[in-house]
Amino acid sequence: MTKTAFDLIVVGGGPGGYVAAIRGAQLGMSVALVERSELGGICLNWGCIPTKALLHSAAVLRACREAARYGVADAGQARPDLAAMVARSRKVADRLGQGVAHLMKKNGVTVFAASARLAGAGRLALDNGATLSAPHIILATGARARELPALPLGERIWAYRQALTPAEIPKSLLVVGAGAIGAEFASFYRAVGAEVTLIDMTAEILPQEDAEISQLARKAFEKQGIRVLTQCAVQSASPTASGVKVALDQQGRQSELEAERVIVAAGIVGNVENLGLEQTRVKVEKTHIVTDALCRTDEPGVYAIGDVAGAPWLAHKASHEAVLCVDAIAGKPAHPLDALRIPACTYSYPQVASVGMTEARAREHARQHGGDIRVGRFSFAGNGKAIAMGEDQGLVKTVFDAATGELLGAHIIHPEASELITGYGVASALEATEEDLMHAVFAHPTLSETLHESVLAAFGRALHA
Protein backbone atom coordinates (compact mmCIF):
# COMPACT_ATOMS: atom_id res chain seq x y z
CA MET A 1 0.00 0.00 0.00
CA THR A 2 1.37 3.45 -1.00
CA LYS A 3 2.30 5.65 1.92
CA THR A 4 0.16 8.80 2.25
CA ALA A 5 1.32 10.41 5.53
CA PHE A 6 4.63 12.29 5.60
CA ASP A 7 6.56 14.81 7.65
CA LEU A 8 6.98 17.10 4.65
CA ILE A 9 5.31 17.36 1.25
CA VAL A 10 6.72 19.50 -1.54
CA VAL A 11 4.51 20.52 -4.47
CA GLY A 12 6.64 21.12 -7.56
CA GLY A 13 9.83 19.39 -8.65
CA GLY A 14 11.91 22.28 -9.97
CA PRO A 15 15.21 23.57 -8.52
CA GLY A 16 13.37 24.80 -5.43
CA GLY A 17 11.12 21.81 -4.92
CA TYR A 18 13.53 18.95 -5.46
CA VAL A 19 16.22 20.64 -3.34
CA ALA A 20 13.68 21.11 -0.54
CA ALA A 21 12.83 17.41 -0.75
CA ILE A 22 16.49 16.41 -0.58
CA ARG A 23 17.19 18.71 2.36
CA GLY A 24 14.17 17.35 4.23
CA ALA A 25 15.39 13.80 3.71
CA GLN A 26 18.89 14.77 4.88
CA LEU A 27 17.34 16.01 8.12
CA GLY A 28 15.57 12.71 8.71
CA MET A 29 12.08 13.65 7.54
CA SER A 30 9.80 11.41 5.54
CA VAL A 31 9.27 13.40 2.36
CA ALA A 32 6.93 13.31 -0.62
CA LEU A 33 7.37 15.30 -3.82
CA VAL A 34 4.37 15.97 -6.06
CA GLU A 35 5.19 16.94 -9.66
CA ARG A 36 2.58 17.13 -12.41
CA SER A 37 5.00 17.17 -15.34
CA GLU A 38 8.79 16.71 -15.43
CA LEU A 39 11.24 16.47 -12.55
CA GLY A 40 13.60 19.40 -12.69
CA GLY A 41 10.81 21.80 -13.61
CA ILE A 42 10.93 24.46 -16.28
CA CYS A 43 14.52 25.44 -15.44
CA LEU A 44 16.03 22.07 -16.17
CA ASN A 45 13.69 20.99 -18.97
CA TRP A 46 12.64 24.17 -20.77
CA GLY A 47 14.63 27.05 -19.33
CA CYS A 48 18.09 27.48 -17.83
CA ILE A 49 19.72 24.27 -19.03
CA PRO A 50 18.50 23.75 -22.62
CA THR A 51 18.97 27.42 -23.46
CA LYS A 52 22.56 27.25 -22.24
CA ALA A 53 23.13 24.16 -24.38
CA LEU A 54 21.92 26.05 -27.45
CA LEU A 55 23.97 29.10 -26.53
CA HIS A 56 27.06 26.93 -26.17
CA SER A 57 26.46 25.52 -29.64
CA ALA A 58 26.28 29.11 -30.87
CA ALA A 59 29.57 29.88 -29.09
CA VAL A 60 31.26 26.92 -30.80
CA LEU A 61 29.91 28.12 -34.16
CA ARG A 62 31.18 31.62 -33.47
CA ALA A 63 34.62 30.26 -32.51
CA CYS A 64 34.84 28.27 -35.74
CA ARG A 65 33.94 31.29 -37.84
CA GLU A 66 36.63 33.34 -36.11
CA ALA A 67 39.22 30.54 -36.04
CA ALA A 68 41.51 32.24 -38.54
CA ARG A 69 42.13 34.99 -35.96
CA TYR A 70 43.77 32.35 -33.79
CA GLY A 71 45.88 30.72 -36.50
CA VAL A 72 43.46 27.86 -37.15
CA ALA A 73 42.87 27.30 -40.87
CA ASP A 74 39.89 25.89 -42.77
CA ALA A 75 37.33 26.26 -39.97
CA GLY A 76 35.65 29.39 -41.25
CA GLN A 77 33.03 27.61 -43.34
CA ALA A 78 31.24 26.20 -40.29
CA ARG A 79 27.44 26.30 -40.50
CA PRO A 80 24.69 25.61 -38.01
CA ASP A 81 23.05 22.18 -38.00
CA LEU A 82 19.91 23.28 -36.19
CA ALA A 83 18.44 19.82 -35.79
CA ALA A 84 21.63 18.56 -34.16
CA MET A 85 21.82 21.61 -31.89
CA VAL A 86 18.24 21.10 -30.72
CA ALA A 87 18.74 17.35 -30.28
CA ARG A 88 21.83 17.95 -28.15
CA SER A 89 19.95 20.50 -26.07
CA ARG A 90 17.11 18.06 -25.40
CA LYS A 91 19.61 15.28 -24.60
CA VAL A 92 21.29 17.48 -21.99
CA ALA A 93 17.94 18.28 -20.39
CA ASP A 94 16.89 14.61 -20.40
CA ARG A 95 20.14 13.56 -18.76
CA LEU A 96 19.68 16.03 -15.94
CA GLY A 97 16.04 15.04 -15.52
CA GLN A 98 17.15 11.46 -15.02
CA GLY A 99 19.69 12.75 -12.52
CA VAL A 100 16.96 14.38 -10.42
CA ALA A 101 14.94 11.14 -10.48
CA HIS A 102 18.04 9.32 -9.23
CA LEU A 103 18.50 11.85 -6.43
CA MET A 104 14.90 11.37 -5.32
CA LYS A 105 15.39 7.60 -5.15
CA LYS A 106 18.78 7.91 -3.46
CA ASN A 107 17.34 10.15 -0.73
CA GLY A 108 14.21 8.06 -0.18
CA VAL A 109 11.80 10.73 -1.43
CA THR A 110 8.42 9.37 -2.55
CA VAL A 111 7.46 10.97 -5.88
CA PHE A 112 3.85 11.36 -7.00
CA ALA A 113 3.24 12.21 -10.67
CA ALA A 114 0.13 14.33 -10.19
CA SER A 115 -1.31 17.78 -9.61
CA ALA A 116 -2.21 18.76 -6.07
CA ARG A 117 -4.59 21.05 -4.19
CA LEU A 118 -4.64 22.07 -0.56
CA ALA A 119 -7.59 20.25 1.02
CA GLY A 120 -7.70 21.43 4.61
CA ALA A 121 -5.09 21.66 7.35
CA GLY A 122 -2.10 19.49 6.50
CA ARG A 123 -3.85 17.77 3.59
CA LEU A 124 -3.32 17.61 -0.15
CA ALA A 125 -5.75 16.19 -2.69
CA LEU A 126 -4.12 14.76 -5.82
CA ASP A 127 -5.85 14.63 -9.18
CA ASN A 128 -5.40 10.84 -9.23
CA GLY A 129 -7.81 10.56 -6.31
CA ALA A 130 -5.26 10.11 -3.53
CA THR A 131 -5.03 12.30 -0.44
CA LEU A 132 -1.70 13.01 1.25
CA SER A 133 -1.07 14.51 4.66
CA ALA A 134 1.83 16.29 6.35
CA PRO A 135 2.24 18.99 8.99
CA HIS A 136 4.42 20.95 6.57
CA ILE A 137 3.63 21.62 2.90
CA ILE A 138 5.94 23.62 0.66
CA LEU A 139 4.53 25.14 -2.54
CA ALA A 140 7.22 25.32 -5.21
CA THR A 141 5.00 25.48 -8.28
CA GLY A 142 7.13 27.96 -10.21
CA ALA A 143 5.97 30.34 -12.90
CA ARG A 144 5.16 30.45 -16.59
CA ALA A 145 5.69 32.88 -19.45
CA ARG A 146 3.42 35.91 -19.48
CA GLU A 147 1.13 35.97 -22.49
CA LEU A 148 0.36 39.22 -24.30
CA PRO A 149 -3.16 39.73 -25.72
CA ALA A 150 -1.67 41.47 -28.76
CA LEU A 151 0.53 38.45 -29.51
CA PRO A 152 -1.50 35.22 -29.24
CA LEU A 153 0.80 32.22 -29.25
CA GLY A 154 0.70 29.87 -32.21
CA GLU A 155 2.71 28.52 -35.12
CA ARG A 156 4.36 31.86 -35.84
CA ILE A 157 4.30 33.49 -32.41
CA TRP A 158 6.38 31.50 -29.95
CA ALA A 159 6.95 31.24 -26.23
CA TYR A 160 10.13 29.63 -24.89
CA ARG A 161 9.15 26.02 -25.63
CA GLN A 162 8.69 26.63 -29.34
CA ALA A 163 11.79 28.83 -29.41
CA LEU A 164 13.86 25.98 -27.93
CA THR A 165 12.72 23.42 -30.51
CA PRO A 166 12.50 25.18 -33.89
CA ALA A 167 12.22 23.07 -37.01
CA GLU A 168 14.20 25.62 -39.00
CA ILE A 169 16.02 28.91 -38.56
CA PRO A 170 13.65 31.80 -39.30
CA LYS A 171 14.99 34.31 -41.79
CA SER A 172 13.73 37.13 -39.60
CA LEU A 173 12.78 37.19 -35.94
CA LEU A 174 11.20 39.69 -33.58
CA VAL A 175 11.94 39.18 -29.87
CA VAL A 176 9.50 40.99 -27.60
CA GLY A 177 11.06 41.65 -24.22
CA ALA A 178 14.73 42.48 -23.69
CA GLY A 179 15.24 40.96 -20.26
CA ALA A 180 17.50 37.96 -19.74
CA ILE A 181 15.35 35.47 -21.69
CA GLY A 182 14.81 37.78 -24.64
CA ALA A 183 18.48 38.76 -24.80
CA GLU A 184 19.57 35.12 -24.75
CA PHE A 185 17.22 34.10 -27.57
CA ALA A 186 18.27 37.15 -29.59
CA SER A 187 21.93 36.14 -29.21
CA PHE A 188 21.32 32.53 -30.21
CA TYR A 189 19.19 33.22 -33.26
CA ARG A 190 21.50 35.96 -34.50
CA ALA A 191 24.48 33.59 -34.20
CA VAL A 192 22.77 30.96 -36.34
CA GLY A 193 21.84 33.45 -39.03
CA ALA A 194 18.46 35.04 -38.33
CA GLU A 195 17.88 38.77 -38.80
CA VAL A 196 16.87 39.73 -35.26
CA THR A 197 14.99 42.70 -33.86
CA LEU A 198 14.87 43.01 -30.07
CA ILE A 199 12.33 45.36 -28.50
CA ASP A 200 11.43 46.45 -24.98
CA MET A 201 9.05 48.94 -23.38
CA THR A 202 11.78 50.30 -21.09
CA ALA A 203 14.51 52.79 -21.92
CA GLU A 204 17.25 50.16 -22.14
CA ILE A 205 17.67 46.44 -22.70
CA LEU A 206 18.34 44.35 -19.58
CA PRO A 207 16.47 46.99 -17.54
CA GLN A 208 17.27 45.36 -14.18
CA GLU A 209 20.99 45.85 -14.74
CA ASP A 210 23.21 48.85 -14.16
CA ALA A 211 22.47 51.46 -16.84
CA GLU A 212 26.09 51.70 -17.99
CA ILE A 213 26.31 47.94 -18.44
CA SER A 214 22.96 47.83 -20.27
CA GLN A 215 24.18 50.48 -22.69
CA LEU A 216 27.36 48.50 -23.36
CA ALA A 217 25.27 45.38 -23.97
CA ARG A 218 23.11 47.27 -26.45
CA LYS A 219 26.17 48.46 -28.37
CA ALA A 220 27.55 44.91 -28.45
CA PHE A 221 24.23 43.53 -29.71
CA GLU A 222 23.96 46.18 -32.40
CA LYS A 223 27.55 45.49 -33.49
CA GLN A 224 26.50 41.87 -34.09
CA GLY A 225 23.65 43.07 -36.30
CA ILE A 226 20.79 42.84 -33.80
CA ARG A 227 18.37 45.71 -34.27
CA VAL A 228 17.37 47.12 -30.88
CA LEU A 229 14.24 49.22 -30.27
CA THR A 230 13.57 50.52 -26.77
CA GLN A 231 10.60 52.39 -25.31
CA CYS A 232 8.68 50.39 -27.87
CA ALA A 233 5.36 48.59 -27.36
CA VAL A 234 3.43 46.09 -29.47
CA GLN A 235 -0.03 47.33 -30.46
CA SER A 236 -1.28 44.43 -32.56
CA ALA A 237 -0.21 41.55 -34.78
CA SER A 238 -1.65 40.02 -37.92
CA PRO A 239 -0.55 37.06 -40.06
CA THR A 240 0.97 37.53 -43.48
CA ALA A 241 1.81 35.11 -46.26
CA SER A 242 5.29 34.56 -44.82
CA GLY A 243 5.11 35.55 -41.18
CA VAL A 244 3.64 38.13 -38.83
CA LYS A 245 3.11 41.86 -39.24
CA VAL A 246 3.40 43.70 -35.93
CA ALA A 247 2.22 47.23 -35.25
CA LEU A 248 4.60 49.11 -32.94
CA ASP A 249 4.37 52.29 -30.90
CA GLN A 250 7.73 53.85 -30.05
CA GLN A 251 7.15 56.94 -27.92
CA GLY A 252 4.13 57.90 -29.98
CA ARG A 253 5.67 57.03 -33.33
CA GLN A 254 3.68 54.36 -35.12
CA SER A 255 5.39 51.81 -37.34
CA GLU A 256 5.03 48.28 -38.67
CA LEU A 257 7.53 45.46 -38.66
CA GLU A 258 7.21 42.14 -40.43
CA ALA A 259 9.04 39.04 -39.24
CA GLU A 260 8.85 35.37 -40.07
CA ARG A 261 8.56 34.47 -36.37
CA VAL A 262 7.99 36.30 -33.07
CA ILE A 263 9.26 35.22 -29.64
CA VAL A 264 7.35 36.56 -26.63
CA ALA A 265 9.68 37.00 -23.64
CA ALA A 266 7.73 39.60 -21.67
CA GLY A 267 8.11 38.33 -18.12
CA ILE A 268 6.43 35.62 -16.07
CA VAL A 269 3.40 34.99 -13.87
CA GLY A 270 3.30 32.72 -10.85
CA ASN A 271 1.55 29.35 -10.97
CA VAL A 272 -0.98 30.00 -8.20
CA GLU A 273 -4.11 28.63 -9.87
CA ASN A 274 -5.81 25.40 -8.84
CA LEU A 275 -3.82 25.07 -5.61
CA GLY A 276 -6.80 25.52 -3.31
CA LEU A 277 -5.41 28.79 -1.95
CA GLU A 278 -8.85 30.41 -1.84
CA GLN A 279 -9.77 28.20 1.12
CA THR A 280 -6.70 29.28 3.12
CA ARG A 281 -5.13 32.40 4.59
CA VAL A 282 -2.42 32.39 1.94
CA LYS A 283 -2.11 35.82 0.33
CA VAL A 284 -1.42 36.32 -3.36
CA GLU A 285 -0.15 39.60 -4.81
CA LYS A 286 0.41 40.09 -8.53
CA THR A 287 0.27 36.32 -9.13
CA HIS A 288 2.86 35.54 -6.45
CA ILE A 289 2.46 34.04 -2.98
CA VAL A 290 3.34 36.36 -0.11
CA THR A 291 5.80 34.91 2.43
CA ASP A 292 7.91 36.09 5.33
CA ALA A 293 11.70 35.93 5.55
CA LEU A 294 11.58 32.19 6.31
CA CYS A 295 9.20 31.38 3.41
CA ARG A 296 6.13 30.99 5.65
CA THR A 297 2.70 32.02 4.36
CA ASP A 298 -0.14 33.25 6.57
CA GLU A 299 -1.55 29.71 6.58
CA PRO A 300 0.06 27.61 9.34
CA GLY A 301 2.10 24.75 7.92
CA VAL A 302 2.10 26.12 4.36
CA TYR A 303 5.25 27.61 2.82
CA ALA A 304 6.23 28.93 -0.62
CA ILE A 305 9.63 29.11 -2.33
CA GLY A 306 11.10 29.95 -5.72
CA ASP A 307 9.43 31.75 -8.60
CA VAL A 308 5.91 31.39 -7.22
CA ALA A 309 7.06 33.36 -4.16
CA GLY A 310 8.28 36.33 -6.22
CA ALA A 311 11.41 38.03 -7.44
CA PRO A 312 14.20 37.54 -8.11
CA TRP A 313 13.11 34.75 -10.45
CA LEU A 314 16.31 32.72 -10.37
CA ALA A 315 16.87 29.00 -9.94
CA HIS A 316 19.66 29.49 -7.42
CA LYS A 317 17.41 31.75 -5.36
CA ALA A 318 14.80 28.96 -5.32
CA SER A 319 17.35 26.36 -4.22
CA HIS A 320 18.69 28.60 -1.47
CA GLU A 321 15.17 29.32 -0.22
CA ALA A 322 14.50 25.58 -0.24
CA VAL A 323 17.33 24.92 2.19
CA LEU A 324 16.59 27.81 4.55
CA CYS A 325 12.87 26.97 4.57
CA VAL A 326 13.41 23.31 5.44
CA ASP A 327 16.10 24.15 7.97
CA ALA A 328 13.67 26.52 9.70
CA ILE A 329 10.97 23.85 9.70
CA ALA A 330 13.42 21.44 11.32
CA GLY A 331 14.43 23.98 13.96
CA LYS A 332 17.90 24.43 12.53
CA PRO A 333 19.59 27.86 12.29
CA ALA A 334 18.18 29.57 9.19
CA HIS A 335 19.31 32.92 7.86
CA PRO A 336 16.80 34.98 5.84
CA LEU A 337 17.81 35.52 2.24
CA ASP A 338 19.15 38.94 1.28
CA ALA A 339 18.14 39.60 -2.33
CA LEU A 340 21.05 42.01 -2.75
CA ARG A 341 23.49 39.14 -2.25
CA ILE A 342 22.01 36.97 -5.03
CA PRO A 343 24.01 37.05 -8.29
CA ALA A 344 22.05 37.45 -11.53
CA CYS A 345 23.33 36.25 -14.90
CA THR A 346 22.28 36.74 -18.51
CA TYR A 347 23.92 34.27 -20.91
CA SER A 348 23.73 36.40 -24.03
CA TYR A 349 26.81 37.26 -26.09
CA PRO A 350 28.43 38.97 -24.31
CA GLN A 351 27.19 37.77 -20.94
CA VAL A 352 26.04 40.18 -18.24
CA ALA A 353 26.24 39.40 -14.53
CA SER A 354 25.73 41.40 -11.36
CA VAL A 355 25.25 41.28 -7.62
CA GLY A 356 24.00 44.03 -5.31
CA MET A 357 23.00 47.58 -6.15
CA THR A 358 23.32 49.43 -9.45
CA GLU A 359 25.27 52.67 -9.35
CA ALA A 360 22.04 54.69 -9.50
CA ARG A 361 20.48 52.79 -6.63
CA ALA A 362 23.64 53.02 -4.56
CA ARG A 363 23.82 56.79 -5.10
CA GLU A 364 20.22 57.18 -4.00
CA HIS A 365 20.85 54.96 -0.97
CA ALA A 366 23.89 57.01 -0.04
CA ARG A 367 22.01 60.30 -0.51
CA GLN A 368 19.25 59.14 1.80
CA HIS A 369 21.78 58.24 4.48
CA GLY A 370 24.04 61.27 4.09
CA GLY A 371 26.91 59.30 2.59
CA ASP A 372 28.69 58.83 -0.71
CA ILE A 373 29.94 56.05 -2.95
CA ARG A 374 33.08 55.18 -4.86
CA VAL A 375 32.91 53.54 -8.27
CA GLY A 376 35.65 51.50 -9.90
CA ARG A 377 35.86 50.43 -13.53
CA PHE A 378 38.32 48.18 -15.30
CA SER A 379 38.22 47.23 -18.96
CA PHE A 380 39.13 43.74 -20.15
CA ALA A 381 41.30 45.52 -22.72
CA GLY A 382 43.86 45.83 -19.92
CA ASN A 383 43.83 42.15 -18.97
CA GLY A 384 46.48 39.83 -20.43
CA LYS A 385 44.36 36.67 -20.36
CA ALA A 386 41.45 38.42 -22.09
CA ILE A 387 43.75 39.71 -24.82
CA ALA A 388 45.27 36.23 -25.28
CA MET A 389 41.74 34.78 -25.59
CA GLY A 390 40.69 37.42 -28.10
CA GLU A 391 37.91 38.47 -25.72
CA ASP A 392 39.19 41.85 -24.58
CA GLN A 393 35.90 43.76 -24.90
CA GLY A 394 33.98 44.24 -21.68
CA LEU A 395 33.97 45.94 -18.31
CA VAL A 396 34.05 45.19 -14.60
CA LYS A 397 32.35 47.82 -12.46
CA THR A 398 32.31 47.95 -8.67
CA VAL A 399 30.40 50.21 -6.31
CA PHE A 400 31.51 50.80 -2.70
CA ASP A 401 30.33 52.77 0.29
CA ALA A 402 32.91 55.56 0.46
CA ALA A 403 33.04 55.65 4.25
CA THR A 404 32.91 51.98 5.25
CA GLY A 405 34.35 50.26 2.18
CA GLU A 406 31.29 47.97 1.95
CA LEU A 407 30.84 46.38 -1.47
CA LEU A 408 27.42 47.67 -2.53
CA GLY A 409 27.33 46.30 -6.07
CA ALA A 410 29.35 44.64 -8.81
CA HIS A 411 28.60 44.44 -12.52
CA ILE A 412 30.36 42.60 -15.35
CA ILE A 413 29.87 42.44 -19.11
CA HIS A 414 32.07 39.88 -20.85
CA PRO A 415 31.67 36.41 -22.45
CA GLU A 416 32.75 34.87 -19.10
CA ALA A 417 30.81 37.22 -16.81
CA SER A 418 28.63 34.49 -15.30
CA GLU A 419 31.68 32.60 -14.04
CA LEU A 420 33.42 35.70 -12.72
CA ILE A 421 30.52 37.18 -10.73
CA THR A 422 30.74 34.47 -8.07
CA GLY A 423 33.92 36.08 -6.76
CA TYR A 424 31.97 39.17 -5.85
CA GLY A 425 29.03 37.06 -4.66
CA VAL A 426 31.25 35.33 -2.12
CA ALA A 427 32.80 38.64 -1.10
CA SER A 428 29.36 40.12 -0.55
CA ALA A 429 28.20 37.12 1.49
CA LEU A 430 31.30 37.41 3.68
CA GLU A 431 30.78 41.18 4.01
CA ALA A 432 34.25 41.80 2.63
CA THR A 433 35.43 45.41 2.47
CA GLU A 434 37.57 47.08 -0.15
CA GLU A 435 40.60 46.46 2.08
CA ASP A 436 39.90 42.70 2.15
CA LEU A 437 39.55 42.60 -1.63
CA MET A 438 42.65 44.70 -2.21
CA HIS A 439 44.72 42.39 -0.03
CA ALA A 440 43.49 39.25 -1.80
CA VAL A 441 45.93 37.72 -4.27
CA PHE A 442 44.52 36.92 -7.72
CA ALA A 443 46.33 34.41 -9.92
CA HIS A 444 48.02 35.61 -13.10
CA PRO A 445 47.20 35.41 -15.92
CA THR A 446 43.47 35.09 -15.28
CA LEU A 447 40.34 36.99 -16.16
CA SER A 448 39.68 37.26 -12.42
CA GLU A 449 42.46 39.84 -12.14
CA THR A 450 39.94 42.31 -13.55
CA LEU A 451 37.91 41.90 -10.35
CA HIS A 452 40.92 43.03 -8.33
CA GLU A 453 41.72 45.93 -10.66
CA SER A 454 38.16 47.29 -10.53
CA VAL A 455 38.33 47.38 -6.73
CA LEU A 456 41.69 49.15 -6.89
CA ALA A 457 40.29 51.60 -9.42
CA ALA A 458 37.45 52.59 -7.09
CA PHE A 459 40.06 53.88 -4.65
CA GLY A 460 42.49 55.38 -7.16
CA ARG A 461 44.95 52.51 -7.06
CA ALA A 462 44.46 50.65 -10.37
CA LEU A 463 47.74 49.21 -11.61
CA HIS A 464 46.96 48.42 -15.25
CA ALA A 465 44.55 51.17 -16.27
Q: What are residue 406's DSSP bridge partners?
A: 433
Predicted pLDDT at 340: 93
Integer Cα distance of 93 and 87 in angstroms: 10
Q: Which residues are catalytic?
A: 444
Q: For the beta carbon of residue 238, count every other beta carbon within 10 angstroms.
A: 10
Say if residues 378 and 396 touch (Cβ distance below 8 Å). Answer: yes
| pLDDT given at position 430 | 95
52 appears as a binding residue in the annotation: yes
* Cβ atoms within 10 Å, residue 2: 8
**What pLDDT is stored for residue 75 in this prediction?**
80
* Confidence (pLDDT) at 1: 59
Q: Would you call 280 helix, strand, or coil by DSSP?
A: coil
Q: What is the pLDDT along the chain (465 residues), one digit of tens a residue?
A: 578 999 999 999 999 999 999 999 999 999 999 999 999 999 999 999 999 999 999 999 999 999 999 999 988 789 999 999 999 999 999 999 999 999 999 999 999 999 999 999 999 999 999 999 999 999 999 999 999 999 999 999 999 999 999 999 999 999 999 999 999 999 999 999 999 999 999 999 999 999 999 999 999 999 999 999 999 999 999 999 999 999 999 999 999 999 999 999 998 999 999 999 999 999 999 999 999 999 999 999 999 999 999 999 999 999 999 999 999 999 999 999 999 999 999 999 999 999 999 999 999 999 999 999 999 999 999 999 999 999 999 999 999 999 999 999 999 999 999 999 999 999 999 999 999 999 999 999 999 999 999 999 999 999 998
Q: Where in the sequence of the chain do the CATH 3.30.390.30 domains occur?
A: 350-459
* Residue 3 pLDDT: 87
Task: Report how far residue 90's alpha carbon sits from residue 98's, in angstroms, rounded to the nearest whole number.
Answer: 12
125 is in an annotated binding site: no
Q: Which fold has domain 157-266?
A: FAD/NAD(P)-binding domain (3.50.50)
> Which CATH number applies to 350-459: 3.90.550.10, 3.30.390.30, 3.20.190.10, 3.40.50.720?
3.30.390.30
Judge whether 179 is annotated as a binding position: yes
Strands (E), 177-313: 195-199, 227-229, 232-239, 244-250, 253-259, 261-264, 268-270, 284-285, 288-289, 302-304
Q: Where in the chain is the domain with CATH 3.50.50.60?
A: 8-145+269-339, 157-266
CATH class of 8-145+269-339: alpha beta
Q: Is residue 180 a known part of a binding site?
A: yes
Is 178 labeled as ligand-binding?
Answer: yes
